Amino acid sequence: MSEIRVGLIGYGTAGAFFHAPLVAATPGLRLAAVVTRDAGRAAEVAARYGAEAVPGVDELWPRCDLVVVASPNRTHVALATEALGQGLPVVVDKPAARTAEEARGLVRLAEERGLMLTVFQNRRWDGDFRTVRRLVAEGALGEVRRFESRFERWRPVPKGGWREAGGPEDVAGLLYDLGSHLVDQALLLLGPVREVYCESDVRRAGVAADDDTFVALTHESGARSHLWVSSVAALSGPRLRVLGSAGAYVKYGMDVQEERLRAGRSPGEPGFGVEDDGRWGLLGTDAEQRPVPTEPGSYLDFYVGVEAALREGTPPPVDPAASIDTLAVIEAARRSATERTVVSLP
């Protein structure tokens, strides 16, 4: 293939601000078609990407070589299943499914058909998390004992929509949304989990899904992860605090890539993921610490990896089996919050 034609299902926040610009900036990929019935969105994808807007997936299949599922969470499994049934490789946005068993079925189907399946866990390529992984690999922290990670916002007035108003059938709420990223990062950094504890609340009027949730994980190594997601944090805690036997790393503020994507900047431009030195984290102890340059964020690496997987047969950028483990933790967290107990994983 001289180019890989990409078909995008969904042009809301995920499709418009993440997938479409990342696909367009990846050499060897071309955004060919987008499923949308909205006239304004259709005009935008044509003007910005030269892509064709189609009303449904039946019109999408013959126009693409790769399908990206960026539709509402409740549709991920059905659409990914249909795309794989059409003989097309798939990128599915997180969470891949509602349950670990549903994710296991998707992985099994992709393997049976010999098709690439991967999950868009772009936060693996956040600059701050890349920095933590480097520090751990270098031994700068010693033995990691606790990983603290937060995605906190101040949204006292709900925005509306299915993410806040939806029920379990919509796979709504922050635990499934931002929590999918935090759990994925914790598993990637510290390995399998043996125990899960969760406190989950709905704090705002007019909201049906969780908007203020804490999850504590005990990893098989003995290390612990403390994870927060909230829409009601008037003052945010550190984005990351990693405590080790030799020192700690503390970092405030979000990765710069999302704000730049939302501002319309291209992820292919020089310095796109580079953070100003005023936002760098600190490494050390109470007695002595120093600023650590943040690794450049690199969401583009995800789609570069997808392109390589399709052309060269290399492993996909995110092993889809990892989504099974992430969802098993999320399911355990939901049970823990409901039953007010610690849940052990097999």
Give residue-wise pLDDT tens across range 264-322. Answer: 999 999 999 999 999 999 999 999 999 999 999 999 999 999 999 999 999 999 999 99
CB 207 within 8 A of CB 163: no
Could you give the CA distance from residue 33 to residue 7 in angstroms, rounded to a whole number? 5
Q: Exposed, middle or buried, 338 (CB in 10 Å: 0-12/13-18/19+)?
A: exposed
CB 229 within 8 A of CB 237: no
The last residue of a domain, from among 121, 140, 166: 121
The last residue of a domain, from among 121, 142, 166: 121
Q: At what angle do helices 76-85 and 100-113 cross, to 10 degrees?
A: 10
CB 18 within 8 A of CB 299: yes
The last residue of a domain, from among 121, 141, 168: 121
The verdict on 117 and 127 lying in the same domain is no
Q: How many domains does the chain have?
A: 2
**CATH code at position 43:** 3.40.50.720
Angle in degrees, CA 9, 11, 16, rounded to 5:
125
Which residues, in sequence order, are bridge partners of residue 52?
33
Could you give the CA distance from residue 319 to residue 9 in angstroms, rounded to a whole number? 21
**Overall pTM > 0.85:** yes
Give residue-wise pLDDT tens across range 47-58. Answer: 999 999 999 999
Q: Does the residue 101 lie in any domain?
A: yes
What the block records as the tokens of 331 is 């399911």
* Average pLDDT for 335-339: 98
**CATH code at position 247:** 3.30.360.10
